[in-house]
Chain A
Amino acid sequence: MLLSRKCRFGALAIAILLAGALIFTPGVFAESHQDAYKIGGIFSVTGPASFLGDPEKKSMELAIEEINAAGGVDGRMLEPVIYDTEGDPSKTVMAVGKLINKDRVTAIIGPSRTPTTLAVTPMVKRAKLPFISCAAGNKIVDPVKPWVFKTAQSDVQAVASIYEHIQQRDIQKVGIITVSNSFGESGKEQLLAQAGDFGITVVSSQSFGASDTDMTAQLTKIRQEKPGAIICWGTNPGPAVVAKNAKQLGIEIPLYQSHGVASPKFIDLAGDAAEGIFLPTGKILVADLLADDDPQKQVLTDYINAYESKYNETVSGFGGYAYDAVHLLARAMEGTNGDKAKIRKNLETLKNYVGISGVFNFSKTDHNGLDPSAFVMVKIKDGKWELVE
């Protein structure tokens, strides 16, 4: 008797719960379809990659503000829902789960790093959600995944522009030193793969840990092979230590860095050792040096002015990835009424969009949409960037 009463109580409780679910769920759906479009953002706002995530978060908010001020997308506002990944793949997975299941966003922008992006691409594929990554690694869009796009320039284009420059200077042998995380691994892969196309041999390939304090041993090993140039692939602070160590060892051959350190912070960290270093960068760092007929000049100047007046800090080369992503997404969302498949289709066919990181031409086989012209080579001289022909 007691048992059956318990059962009955349980059944009643379940019934009430189910009824509740039936009553409330349509409400939730209706709400999310009439009000603002929710756009998810996941960036490494804190943690070692905060130099990427922090400006990206700010740029995403800036872009959404601009779009909303201009009347939104088809009259509907955009509402950002931003989570911090701390650059940690497992936290990114949790954040994406929350965006998909709890916040029910229309699309996701970010994350900032290649490992965090690769960790969540299977999730967005299952959820069939348009996803625009702000990370640099080429693996994100190679092979092409239907729902995954990216706005940051790839290491493919960066490596090509470095090698082009090295080839012009008649250097045949290079030594490379890469950070042992996926940014470095991806760079190393491209450096080794493309070397042959430019008639260059990689004579020594070394790696270093992201938080190592001394790279003299690796540089000594590279020097033994007598290369004509050294290429370092990493993000701060490691490459700054490499630059310092190279100077201390008295290495005279040119040092190339990747676009991963293209920020004033690198010059700050490396100090005197930054002098004479070459690196490829998006045009944003040298916007004021660009020729007036450069198609990106106007877009860049507007973005820089808006960012600097809103946040009162110097613009970095990374925020633009999120800024481009929001504007591309907004354009693709026009006239879709939030239909995710249509947004994806529109993104894939978007052409000639002039953004911060370059001119985007997406296609079925190219979900990055950029070509090597997205990069310019710069040299650090007297603590400032200088365009290299």
Chain B
Amino acid sequence: MQEILQYLFSGLTNGAIYAVIALGFSMLYSSTELINFAHGEFVMLGALCMVTLAVNLGFPLIPAFFLSICAVAAAGLLFERLAIRPVRHPEPIVLIIITVGASIFLRGVGMLIWGKDAHSMPPFSQHPPLDVAGARLLIQSIWILIIVAALTAALQMFYRRTLTGKAMTACAVSKKAAWIVGIPTKWMVMLAFGLSTGMGAVAGAIIAPITMSSYDMGTMLGLKGFCAAMLGGLGSLWGAILGGFLLGILEALGVGYISSGLKDATAFVLLLLVLYVRPQGIIGAGEVKRF
């Protein structure tokens, strides 16, 4: 019993992180049909910004958190403006290759700025882990779950209640139709980039205290997030959340009951299974329904 709980806690924590990363993938895909393979690198930037601001420059936690998200979102906007928009023939394959290039570039920049060593920072609040029926739950894990829940709620509100959110949904359904009714689609794409990379930064900033942040941490996290997004159904908000948690929990249970050597394989075997059996993902029904 104690073990199952411990595996679940570990899976929930990792799953929440995968979910936020998957959200970033999904959001961008639904408004631009683009899969940003540099997304993991924005997670890395978020984590390292957070470490720098909170540890090296001594900012209080909350300003450091929001500042790093803003900084990374700004980097995301810059990326869209400089690398994506000027492309003359914006075919999906060209854009995807650009994002792969950008990920290598960003890793290099990360290495130059933060060096090659890993960095660590203290948790958001200094409390001993909670003891739940013998299993330990980290306070940082609770923080992560709270932040992910708040983020999901805010996104849901944004898409359902605000004019900008609705305009973005319209863009996702049909760019041309949205443009005809007067929605500035270019701005919407920029906004999608900003939001998506900002989301990556959130993921980075919340895991910085539980793991070590280094310039090369983004690749694996990005891939896992991509798996989670595919698993739940690319382009769907709830799909990304579901996919993330499912992946995290299955990974933890796989380590516990099968073999720890197969941890990373779990994600990729799941991805393959989904692609074979249900290519639209768990939630995507028929044609992928956007947000």
Contacts and interface: CB of A to CB of B under 8 A. Distances in A.
Interface string B217-261: 100110000000000000000000000000000001001100011
Given A50-B116, A236-B118, A241-B211, A211 B3 contact: no
A249 B212 contact: no
Interface in A167-222: 180, 206-209, 211-214, 216-218, 220-221
Interface string A220-264: 110010000000000011001100100011100000000000000
Interface in B122-136: 122, 129, 131, 135-136
Given A208-B263, A213-B210, A216-B9, A248 B138 contact: yes
Nearest to B252: A217
Interface residues of B, number: 37
A48 interface: yes
Nearest to A48: B216
A220 B6 contact: yes
B33 interface: no
A271 interface: yes
B126 to A, nearest CB: 10
Contact of A209 (B3, B129, B214, B264): B264
Which of B131, B207, B210, B212 has the most chain A CB atoms inside 10 A of its CB? B212
B211 A208 contact: no
A211 B217 contact: yes
B118 A269 contact: yes
B111 interface: yes
Contact of A214 (B14, B116, B119, B264): B14
B6 A217 contact: yes
Contacts of A217: 6-7, 10-11, 252, 255-256, 260
Contacts of A237: 118, 120, 211-212, 214
Interface in A109-163: none
Interface string A36-75: 0000000000111011001000000000000000000000
A33 interface: no
Interface in B90-135: 111, 116-120, 122, 129, 131, 135
B36 to A, nearest CB: 20
A180 B265 CA distance: 12
B263 to A, nearest CB: 6
A211 B263 CA distance: 12
A271 B116 contact: no
B118 A240 contact: yes
A268 interface: yes
Given A46-B111, A208-B260, 7 more contacts: A206-B255, A213-B207, A213-B217, A213-B221, A240-B118, A240-B212, A269-B119
Interface of A: 46-48, 50-51, 54, 180, 206-209, 211-214, 216-218, 220-221, 224, 236-237, 240-241, 244, 248-250, 265, 268-271
Q: Which 3 interchain pairs have the tightest Cβ spacing?
A: A237-B212, A213-B211, A50-B116
Interface of B: 3, 6-7, 9-11, 13-14, 17, 111, 116-120, 122, 129, 131, 135-136, 138, 207, 210-212, 214, 216-217, 220-221, 252, 255-256, 260-261, 263-264
